[in-house]
Amino acid sequence: MSKGISIGELAERAGVSPATVSIVLNNRPLAIRVAEPTRERIRKLAAELNYRPNHLARSMQRQSTRTISFICGELANPFYAELVDNLVALADERGYRLLTQPTHWNLDREFEMLESVMTREVDGIVIFSGIFSQQPERARRICPPSQPLVVLNDPEAKDFTSVRFDLLSGMRELFTHLESEGFRNVALADDRHFPHKSAAYLKMCEEFDMEPRIFDFRFGDIDSIRNCAAQIASELPEVLIAASDQVGSMLIYFLAGAGVRMPEDYAAVTIDGTRLAEYFNPALTSIRQDTRLMAGGALEELLRKLENSDTEIRHLVLPTSVRINESTLFRGRRKELNRKKDDRMPLDTKPLSK
C-alpha cells in the first residue's frame, strides 16, 4: 500500500500553508476568507491525490479526538432516535463526531460504559441515564464534576451540568386545552420509577381541580404495558395521557384489541411529540419535548467545557409546549362512555409479532 500524501505535501502543491488546507477541507468559518479559486484548487488537488487527514496525528497534536460519546438506554424509541439524529447533525456542524453507546437501561451496563468512555480517547460525554440520581456516590467516584459531561433529563443530577425539559409548562398548556374542550376525567399512564412526569401531572390536577388517576407500567416491559391497558379499559377515562409516544402507541393498540377505540371512546395525549405522534390516524395531541433544542443545549454546554475550559456546573431547563391534534378534538363524536363493560371484547393477550 502506497503511503498517503501528507497535509504538508498537499499544501506545497497547492501553493498555500498547511493551516489554509486544514481550514478549507474542514470547512472552518475562516474558509470564507480564502479566495474561491484557491479553495477550489485545494479541494481538487485533495481529490486527485486521494488525500485523507491523519486523525490520530491531529488528535495527538492538539490532545483532542473531536469525538463525543453519547450514552443512552435505547435507540428504538422514536424520542431517542430523533435526539441522536439531532446530536449527530449539530456535532458535525461543530467539527465533532458522535459515538453512540446504547445500554438497554441496565444500571450496571451504564456504569460500565461510563467507565470505559472515561478511559478512551473521547473529548466529552452526553448521557441520558438515571444513574446520577439513583446512585450519585458511585457516579461521583467514576466521573468527577470537572469532567466534560452533560446529563440529560435528570432533575436530581445536581452535581453535574445538565439539560432537561420543564414539563410543567407543557402540562399546564395541555390542561388548559382539555378544560376548554370540556374534559374533566384525565388520567396518566406512567412508570412510577421516573416520577418527574407524574409530578407535573399531579400538580396540574390540583391546580385545575381534577381527580388524579395514574395507571402504572414499566418501560420496556410489554406485559406490564398490556396489563396497564387492561386496567385502563376497565376504568376508561375521558382522556389518557401516555408517558411517551412509544408507550402511547402500544396502549392504543392494546385498547383497540379490547374494542376500545380512540378517539371515539377516549381522547389520547402523549409526551414527546415525535414524528410518530403526527403519523397516527388521527394525529395525537402531544406535549412536545423538542429533541433539537435538547441536542443544541447539550452540545453548547459540553463545548463550553471543552473549548473554553469552563468547569462551572450549570442546569439548563428547556420549555415544553403542546401540539394540539385531532385526538383531543373529537369530543362531539365520542360514543356513550357509560355503555356496559360486557359489550366490550376481552383484552387480547397475544404477544406482539416480532
The residue that leads in pLDDT, 342 or 142, is: 142
The per-residue pLDDT for 200 is 97
CB 294 within 8 A of CB 83: yes
Domains and CATH numbers, the chain: 7-53 (1.10.260), 65-165+291-319 (3.40.50.2300), 168-290+323-343 (3.40.50.2300)
| Range 175-185 average pLDDT | 95
Position 4 confidence tier, pLDDT thresholds 50, 70, 90: low
Q: Per-residue pLDDT for 344 more than 60?
A: no
Write b or e for each residue in 149-182: b if 16 or more Cβ atoms lie within 10 A of its Cβ, otherwise e.
bbbbbbbebeebbbbbbebbbbbbbbbebbeebe
The per-residue pLDDT for 29 is 57
Q: What is the DSSP string of 270-300?
A: EEE--HHHHHSSSPPEEEE--HHHHHHHHHH
Q: Per-residue pLDDT for 65 more than 80?
A: no
The per-residue pLDDT for 20 is 84
Q: Per-residue pLDDT for 19 more than 80?
A: no
| Range 298-308 average pLDDT | 91
The per-residue pLDDT for 269 is 98
| Range 325-351 average pLDDT | 56
CB 251 within 8 A of CB 280: no
| Range 113-139 average pLDDT | 81
CB 116 within 8 A of CB 294: no
**pLDDT tens digits for 316-335?**
999 999 999 999 986 654 44
The residue that leads in pLDDT, 55 or 170, is: 170
**pLDDT tens digits for 196-222?**
999 999 999 999 999 999 999 999 899
Write b or e for each residue in 204-219: b if 16 or more Cβ atoms lie within 10 A of its Cβ, otherwise e.
bbeeeebeebbbebeb
pTM: 0.75
Position 142 confidence tier, pLDDT thresholds 50, 70, 90: confident
Q: What one-character DSSP code corresponds to residue 182?
A: T
**pLDDT tens digits for 221-265?**
999 999 999 999 999 999 999 999 999 999 999 999 999 999 999
Q: Average pLDDT, whole number, for the chain?
A: 85
Position 190 confidence tier, pLDDT thresholds 50, 70, 90: very high
